[in-house]
Structure 1
């Protein structure tokens, strides 16, 4: 058959008059043509950096200046004019990135990137964020609508000013669609998707553990806190007791391995009051940790409206606002709050009624069926049926056929409200800023703010559910009206910490308060408190602070939490000193240094031992996940550190994981797991070999060879998930700003990756690609009066 097909191919080529040499030449010409087209697109799509450009709709001239790193200063007559000009710059430099963000939220990624994105589109389209965004825009006040209209017009003008479509579209043989005001709302929704849960997976995970293992075992594996908790009020949650026994796992026949949970998509932020700075002004620091990408998530800029506004910070391409920054009177930053912003609602079917009828406090209701269409590039389209309820869309059906609706603050009619963010740009005091934060509607964040008078505060920015009748930890029915939401909390009910006696504020995606405040805010997946503990301890180690002290905390790559595991591994190795395979580890573990630095062998061995121990224990208790179910392969509780330590210290015979005769066997298996990952000599098993920054253009994952053109060289980076310098191969501080605020300060910030999407000078400003690795402070652009 093979010869027949080849013979047929030759006959076809002969019939067309094409020989082998001519065919090769034809392919070469086609490849050369594509390369030339790409090169031309790259050249012609470079942003315009000099000269005068027409921009319709301006009420007066707008000037754009840039510093050596390409950071613009935009000066205009009005905030609307500045928004239009900012849109112009975003459209020139970041349009493809913005396009992906709006498509991510709308469930339309596959239309650009192809079939691999269809599964994600199915999950997001259920939420129907595009019609929600359209409804929000239609309800905007005239002033806010004018701002979004001006920004959208600026984006489209910037895109049109390019000599060619952005190079990504040339590669995809596609063209960009104009930016619409609703796309700004979709960009905000995209951040909610990245920072919060799309489907209540955490609730389901815990509920399944309770159902499978029983309450004591589930609480032990999914505790609500740990010894590392470091809230502002010093509160402590009780440790769950050791269960008497652990049932056999439900999925013991799985073939995949459990994976360590990905690092929290969040940030570090802290502030010290003026009493600790020596100048009377507060100090604020903020690291916003997000996935690494080329270009960077944020876009630094200074926005100036004469006698009205002068603000420096980071903007989010797709929106006209300053996300975090300073106006010379206040400075603010965010960390992802991980408060509980959503609930799974168990739907109770009504017997004798048509399928899709469910109970509500107001009597039986039928689900509303909406038909959506998903399309993929170079493929066809498929139908997606969305079932809507009074509480939200149906997002899950369990093995028993029970359906769950999803109540999420992102579904509220006013889920996005940006006008207060414009007010925040002009706020003069901490108290004023806190009040504004409670009116804003963005994905819920820890809001850390300081002012030049020395005040500091923490609160939640965004809506907080007014939950009643349940704590939101597991799915429950709301059918009888005894459980649910009473909308969202009024501003006066949202917790605030203002000017604490110790003059210190810190957050790191962890629980911030206990007691009544904790009950109000709920738990949406708080991170382990190791980062927060080190930040807190560093803040209490000094009684005077300067910007350099804040930067030192940001660059702290030591791991206090792993100290326990180093001690345990050292004991294990010393007890096995005769093992020729393990003996070479001993000097590296003994002198490990306690820091996540690229040349450390000991750090990687210690961390690997912990990871293997946790994996084996969880697989023994919960079972191995089924291959192919990627989203089910990270099933650790974030706060399980305390439980695992107790197991290793106490080694209770009744809790030996399934498949092992005793705890020594578990430890031996953990050592074997680490050993199996060492290729060659242990001295080459460095942290830097694993901790390689993966700064990638989104298309480099699907177009072979593109990374050579778009991405910086891979490089080992210091830091890890469990310390202030929280860097991982695909996640790092997307913006770091250690700044003194007010009183004519000097400010600095740094971001990983390039500012603009187009490869090659001048728009990449190459120093911004790699400078973040060493985290040198960069002066804020053209800012003589302070950041």
Structure 2
């Protein structure tokens, strides 16, 4: 998720017989015995048919040590890349193509934030962190000594540094960065205001459909007056084109996650059912790593938790234990603010506040670059946070600027997410789980929960309280009225417990209605997924696990259902359409509004909507700005609906009005369809364009390695609109999807729990578990989890033995052989 698109130009390495032999030798050892120094007791690791490790330990110390070892066996290079991305150290091994990335992340100071967080963790959690790191380092040491590091290290000619507790926490900060897009949205709007003026910019501020689904309704509370977007009067002077260019393209607000839970009164089993499919960058390896953690006391399990972990971090992030199940979605809360800092004209290290000048902190960073001299970077940090402007190739242009742009972000605070995660793993009911969330701060997530007794949803994390702005645009940093006044208290964050309806849905939609007294955000994901999930769930009287599995890959397209009834008549009334354009119109009219891979309707509609956006926005924005437009779907859909009712805004008018824009964009779209799939519309198929098969980072950069490393591409249904989210890149390849899906029926949590992880468990592309789940994932299949001891103990067994047995790393039998 973090580095897939960052590796573009890496020196090719030829595959020799020796390299193939090394690939075979470096595969994960999953049977026999290994000595892991520092263990107190023997640990058993059973791997099932999908390569999921079921780790049995006698205590938590051994459990997390073994988890670190086993995760490193399968994902060490991925872990190292994530660590290097977060710490700004990619260029050291990948070259100068990653220099801007390193500059950005050194400036964001994720490492320093992780170091501050480490200082406030409990002694117990620090002990577990050290145990996990010790396990990772145990594998690194053995792999280095025996020449069994993953092949990527050999190709790039380097060895990993020892794993440290701060590295674990830095990866959690990286997760927060990936789920927090507010600063990029503010940068986009600031540059838009500079280019098009504040009036045109304000017409593209985020909107939410008035009839869109809302998760928590504040019944009985007095309605708070509607809060219009608030922003200060400003004349943009900074040029943020270079900073904007460094951010990722196509920030699709439709990308997100789904989670829902039904109470027992709505299910066939009579117990709650929870479903979760968190949508992330669909990478290879996946962001998630499945694991089953067991601490046994005799025949009883003191800890028994299974689900998706984060490579490089102890514990289970999403999943269930014997008593509860939980999932998450990104709440889309605005937790970042950009402040325009006024610089002292005589001293670039001083910034103003209310007429007084204050010193910025100065950090000197040295970035190592493979094959080139080191690069020196000066990072300035004001009271709001690090200064972003001037970092990415704009230093000369900004040398004489009187202003700078600083980032205020909750993740810069010392935070204790791991404390919460490990407590969640052990919770047995809603009260204990809710108490665990009190230690959680960033990113802000909606946690969906189920037990035999309760279903619930709770927003957790630091949510800023703003007094005079809504975080849509940068604000003056020298004025006190734009400072934050604190954070929303935990007990006042949105929460829903045991609703009478027996349904809870969270899909990045608006979480709270307008009666809620605090401001949360203006920028929510389109309500299409949440609307559809709620529609389907309310239509089922007694839901089964099979119903939930089907809903997770529901490919209905509510956007097409909404817009086509008044867009198609515009085309039908146009007499100058050519034969191919008329054929495309016939396709859209006959289409059932389901994004199936074999159909042509989704293909024509998707290409058309993209062309319509370009026709309306790109002439004024330009390509760079338009490629990074936020809130596009909600804004454009509302503009189309309003224009159909005679309320055309300035953007639609500049495009010639709705009719001209619709027809022109449709004609452009048909030509694009023909260029992509030929001039016979009857042969067009969504799946020929819309394909899934995530590339390995090295395989994406090197065609010579792609055939070995990249996941096989295959046609797939779904889209950026459907519940079964399959968000395509500009070339049609799916880059955002739910690589991990799960459904848990609490009636029998050990026998009625299902999941899948695509493309597979292993990060070794020679492993049978590298992409063994990719086909089933594309087909919408889930597998029954093997949780019961008598089931998972049928798998391959690796014994990890205490170092005191003898000073040898590998033994073939129960008795060490040296």
**TM-score > 0.5 by shorter chain:** yes
CA distance in 1, matches of 2:646, 2:35: 73
Aligned match of 1:755: 761
Counterparts in 2 of 1:730 and 1:430: CA distance versus 1, 3 Å: same
Deviates more, 1:652-661 or 1:145-154: 652-661
Aligned match of 1:560: 558
Offset at 1:216?
Answer: 6.0
Counterparts in 2 of 1:208 and 1:785: CA distance versus 1, 3 Å: farther
The one of 142, 151, 159 equivalent to 2:132 is 151
Residues 1:511 and 2:501 are matched in the alignment: no
**Residue deviations 1:159-204, cap 9 Å, x none?**
333442110011112222221111101111121121113x712123
Q: What's the TM-score, normalizing by structure 2?
A: 0.84
Offset at 1:657?
Answer: 4.7
CA distance in 2, matches of 1:786, 1:543: 33
Whether the aligned pair in 1 keeps the contact of 2:308 and 2:317 (CA below 8 Å) is yes
CA distance in 2, matches of 1:515, 1:659: 33
The one of 374, 377, 383 equivalent to 1:390 is 383
Deviates more, 1:82-91 or 1:670-679: 670-679
Residues 1:140 and 2:121 are matched in the alignment: yes
Aligned match of 2:798: none
Name the SS of the counterpart of 1:488 in structure 2: coil
Offset at 1:510?
Answer: 2.0
Offset at 1:664?
Answer: 3.8
Whether the aligned pair in 1 keeps the contact of 2:456 and 2:497 (CA below 8 Å) is yes
CA distance in 2, matches of 1:637, 1:660: 16
Aligned match of 2:405: 404
Name the SS of the counterpart of 1:359 in structure 2: strand
Counterparts in 2 of 1:736 and 1:418: CA distance versus 1, 3 Å: same
* More RCO (CA 8 Å, sep 6+): 2
The one of 190, 211, 214 equivalent to 1:231 is 214
Residues 1:72 and 2:53 are matched in the alignment: yes
Counterparts in 2 of 1:393 and 1:564: CA distance versus 1, 3 Å: same
Name the SS of the counterpart of 2:580 in structure 1: coil
Counterparts in 2 of 1:81 and 1:204: CA distance versus 1, 3 Å: same
CA distance in 2, matches of 1:213, 1:238: 27
Offset at 1:340?
Answer: 1.1
Whether the aligned pair in 2 keeps the contact of 1:566 and 1:606 (CA below 8 Å) is no
Whether the aligned pair in 1 keeps the contact of 2:68 and 2:132 (CA below 8 Å) is yes
Aligned match of 2:272: 282
The one of 187, 205, 209 equivalent to 1:222 is 205
Deviates more, 1:531-540 or 1:639-648: 639-648
Residues 1:781 and 2:774 are matched in the alignment: no
CA distance in 2, matches of 1:361, 1:32: 58
Query: Counterparts in 2 of 1:82-93, with a 5 A limit?
Result: 82-93=63-74
Offset at 1:238?
Answer: 7.3
Counterparts in 2 of 1:275 and 1:510: CA distance versus 1, 3 Å: same
CA distance in 1, matches of 2:781, 2:371: 44
Aligned match of 1:183: 167
Q: Structure 2: where are the runs of 5+ without partners?
A: 1-11, 230-237, 391-396, 728-733, 793-818
CA distance in 1, matches of 2:629, 2:791: 45
Name the SS of the counterpart of 1:300 in structure 2: strand
Counterparts in 2 of 1:239 and 1:410: CA distance versus 1, 3 Å: closer
Aligned match of 2:580: 581
**Residue deviations 1:666-689, cap 9 Å, x none?**
233202211221232222332112
Aligned match of 1:643: 638
Offset at 1:91?
Answer: 1.0
CA distance in 1, matches of 2:597, 2:255: 23
Name the SS of the counterpart of 2:715 in structure 1: coil
CA distance in 1, matches of 2:441, 2:58: 27
Aligned match of 1:60: 41
Whether the aligned pair in 1 keeps the contact of 2:343 and 2:402 (CA below 8 Å) is no
Query: Counterparts in 2 of 1:246-261, with a 5 A limit?
Result: 261=251
Whether the aligned pair in 1 keeps the contact of 2:754 and 2:782 (CA below 8 Å) is yes
The one of 94, 106, 120 equivalent to 1:125 is 106
Whether the aligned pair in 2 keeps the contact of 1:47 and 1:763 (CA below 8 Å) is no
Aligned match of 1:316: 310
Name the SS of the counterpart of 2:347 in structure 1: coil
Aligned match of 1:355: 348
Deviates more, 1:584-593 or 1:319-328: 584-593
**Residue deviations 1:699-744, cap 9 Å, x none?**
1122222121122211111111111100131111021001112544
CA distance in 2, matches of 1:509, 1:331: 20
CA distance in 2, matches of 1:226, 1:106: 39
Offset at 1:217?
Answer: 4.3
Counterparts in 2 of 1:360 and 1:612: CA distance versus 1, 3 Å: same
Q: Structure 1: where are the runs of 5+ without partners?
A: 1-30, 242-249
Query: Counterparts in 2 of 1:631-670, with a 5 A limit?
Result: 633-650=628-645, 655=650, 657=652, 661-670=656-665
Aligned match of 1:13: none
Query: Counterparts in 2 of 1:574-613, with a 5 A limit?
Result: 574-576=572-574, 579-613=578-612
Whether the aligned pair in 2 keeps the contact of 1:195 and 1:265 (CA below 8 Å) is no
Whether the aligned pair in 1 keeps the contact of 2:261 and 2:273 (CA below 8 Å) is yes
Aligned match of 1:11: none
Name the SS of the counterpart of 1:348 in structure 2: strand
Offset at 1:651?
Answer: 5.4
Offset at 1:34?
Answer: 5.0
Offset at 1:108?
Answer: 1.3
Offset at 1:604?
Answer: 1.4
Offset at 1:441?
Answer: 3.5
Whether the aligned pair in 2 keeps the contact of 1:554 and 1:724 (CA below 8 Å) is yes
Residues 1:770 and 2:760 are matched in the alignment: no
Whether the aligned pair in 2 keeps the contact of 1:589 and 1:605 (CA below 8 Å) is yes
**Residue deviations 1:32-62, cap 9 Å, x none?**
9851332122111111110111111112121
Query: Counterparts in 2 of 1:413-428, with a 5 A limit?
Result: 413-414=414-415, 416-428=416-428
Deviates more, 1:533-542 or 1:676-685: 676-685
Aligned match of 1:205: 188
**Residue deviations 1:115-169, cap 9 Å, x none?**
2222222211102222332333344332111111110111122233344211001
Name the SS of the counterpart of 2:212 in structure 1: coil
Name the SS of the counterpart of 2:691 in structure 1: coil
Name the SS of the counterpart of 2:258 in structure 1: strand
Name the SS of the counterpart of 2:108 in structure 1: coil
Aligned match of 1:377: 370
CA distance in 1, matches of 2:644, 2:510: 26
Aligned match of 1:446: 446
Deviates more, 1:290-299 or 1:718-727: 290-299
Deviates more, 1:489-498 or 1:290-299: 489-498
Count residues with an aligned counterpart. 736
Whether the aligned pair in 2 keeps the contact of 1:442 and 1:462 (CA below 8 Å) is yes
Query: Counterparts in 2 of 1:40-59, with a 5 A limit?
Result: 40-59=21-40
CA distance in 2, matches of 1:421, 1:657: 47
Whether the aligned pair in 2 keeps the contact of 1:743 and 1:786 (CA below 8 Å) is no
